[in-house]
Amino acid sequence: MTTSNMNRSVLHQIFLTLRTVLYRKQPRLVGTDKSGNRYFEAPPNEKSEHIHLSKLPKRFFLIPGQKKLEYSHENNHVDMSSIPAEWYSWLYHRRSNPPTEEEIEANTISKENRLIRATELEV
């Protein structure tokens, strides 16, 4: 490959990268939980080679104080058990719509009632 072809190839890659960054659709905030975690959804990457990335929107969360995505739960050692089950299901595409505060509260009350009944049965 000649130097001029390499320069063109490098310039072409820079152009493609800039175009992707400038025209990328921004993720939208879809909700927060009581711990202050913020949940986002970004449109699917239709140009991806991977089928699952090209069809499903990217879902992620940022912990309180975190400003940008750095694969939040992997790099910051977040205890995933602290994420409400409803949000966890949404993050991993097990449900299509994000949970509401009312739904989470109702499920929490139901769980507490089951624990109370279970302890009563043990006695």
What does pTM read for this prediction?
Answer: 0.69
Q: For 10, left (φ over 0), alpha (ψ -120 to 50), or beta?
A: alpha
Q: What is the SS3 string spanning 6-35? A: HHHHHHHHHHHHHHHHHHCCCCEEEEECCC
Residue 16 scores a pLDDT above 90: no
**89: three-class secondary structure by DSSP:** helix
- pLDDT of 11 reads 83
Q: Enter the tokens of residue 118.
A: 């279970």
Q: Can you give the pLDDT at residue 32? A: 96
Single-letter amino acid, residue 91: L
Locus of tokens 């975190």: 66
Domain that holds residue 54: 3-122
pLDDT at 110: 96
User: Residue 89: pLDDT above 70?
Assistant: yes
Share the mean pLDDT of the chain.
83
Q: Which helix (H) or strand (E) is 60 found in, with range?
A: strand 58-62
| Sign of the alpha-carbon torsion through 13, 16, 22, 24 | negative
DSSP state of 64: T
pLDDT at 99: 97
| pLDDT (tens digit per residue) in 21-62 | 666 678 899 999 999 999 999 988 777 677 766 788 989 999
Residue scoring higher pLDDT (18 or 93): 93
Q: Are strands 28-32 and 58-62 parallel, antiparallel or unpaired?
A: unpaired
How many domains are contained in the chain?
Answer: 1
